[in-house]
A and B are shown apart, each in its own frame.
Chain A
Amino acid sequence: MSGAEAMAGGAVQDDILAIAESWAGEGRDVALATVIETWGSAPRPVGSHLVIDADGAFMGSVSGGCVEGAVVTEALDVIGSGKPKVLEFGVADETAWEVGLSCGGRIRVYVEKVA
């Protein structure tokens, strides 16, 4: 039984860490993104995870789908460099508008390689 299956009874969000372990165990290059701070009406709470592999496959969420694309792009960079990054998305940031965090919230996301 994989870790993900063993924890299938728990909250769906929590399975992301099991998926990260299982992907890394398969020899895939993996990054983990974690919401570390939110302001305003951010759709996903602090501690929410997104797991990304080198092919851009991902599971989980750090927003309601608005910034995942940008996080995946940054994650590929982190997988390449091995250096963690803190990303910030929000209404005050023009780029954030471009990637579409239109809910009015602001979030900070920590992206790290699983190695």
Chain B
Amino acid sequence: MDATLLKALNEERRNRRAALVITDLGSGAQRLVREAGIGAEPDAGELRQMLLSGKSRTQATEAGERFIAVHLPATKFVIIGAVHISQVLAPMAMATGFDVTVIDPRTAFATPERFAGINLLAEWPDEVLGDVGLDRWCAFAALTHDPKIDDMPLAAALKAGCFYVGALGSRKTHAKRLDRLMQAGIGPEFAARIHAPIGLDIGAQSPAEIAVSVLAEAIAALRGRDARRDTAGGAAA
């Protein structure tokens, strides 16, 4: 690998941008394709699919065999609310490969005892979100039910383009939330991205079952699948 290419690739990775490296296995010729530059590729559609799958692979072409390496930033999961659902969601999301952070300013909820082994911040979201760093490779769930805690980070997650934004609450609660977000300057096109009521419609009852439905919904969003639309009789159908 050309040292300059390696440097450029690492630069993309450090800045949490997706990139592909295409290697001609015969000649060793290699090039870096940044996500922003995929549109200019002849096989842009296929390369985009590869980014969604996150899987690197070899490919036989007329010009010989090539290897396409997919480099995706590590996905994060930011959970607002150190609640019962989060106690199950956080370790499951970690097991699925997410870098998980749970944020809740209520110190009665945000205790190390309730969240052993989890990156837990007993702070107001607006004080720590800058360091946590919301971006499009981040899933986000607001689970406190409390607008004072949930609303600000929810707006921030929408603005940052998080690939998944979910918010707990009934349709009624969510309608009120949308009103508040509109007043805070969040347009309807942003607000429509919120998954609410949160989670896939699997008839979840317990906090743990809701956690499963939320994680599944987030994974579907990561892989570019609208699980609500693809599932007959889904939550929003």
Contacts and interface: CB of A to CB of B under 8 A. Distances in A.
**Are A and B physically bound partners?**
yes
Contacts of A86: 25
Interface string A20-59: 1100100000001010110000000011000000000000
Of the candidates B2, B6, B58, B70, the one having the most CB atoms from chain A within 10 angstroms of its own CB is B6
Nearest to A31: B1
A46 B57 contact: yes
B67 A34 contact: yes
A114 B28 contact: no
B34 to A, nearest CB: 15
Chain B interface secondary structure, helix, strand, loop or mixed? Answer: mixed
Interface stretch (A4-12, A65-73, A94-102): A4-12
A3 B10 contact: yes
Of the candidates A9, A10, A14, A47, the one having the most CB atoms from chain B within 10 angstroms of its own CB is A47
B14 A7 contact: yes
A110 B23 contact: yes
B99 interface: yes
Interface string A72-96: 0000000000011010000000000
A47 B57 CA distance: 8
Contact of A20 (B6, B14, B28): B6
A18 interface: yes
B9 A17 contact: yes
B145 interface: no
B56 A47 contact: yes
B70 A47 contact: yes
A37 B7 CA distance: 25
Interface of A: 3, 6-7, 9-11, 14, 17-18, 20-21, 24, 32, 34, 36-37, 46-47, 83-84, 86, 108, 110, 112-115
The 7 closest A-B pairs by CB, nearest first: A47-B56, A84-B28, A10-B74, A36-B67, A46-B56, A114-B1, A21-B6
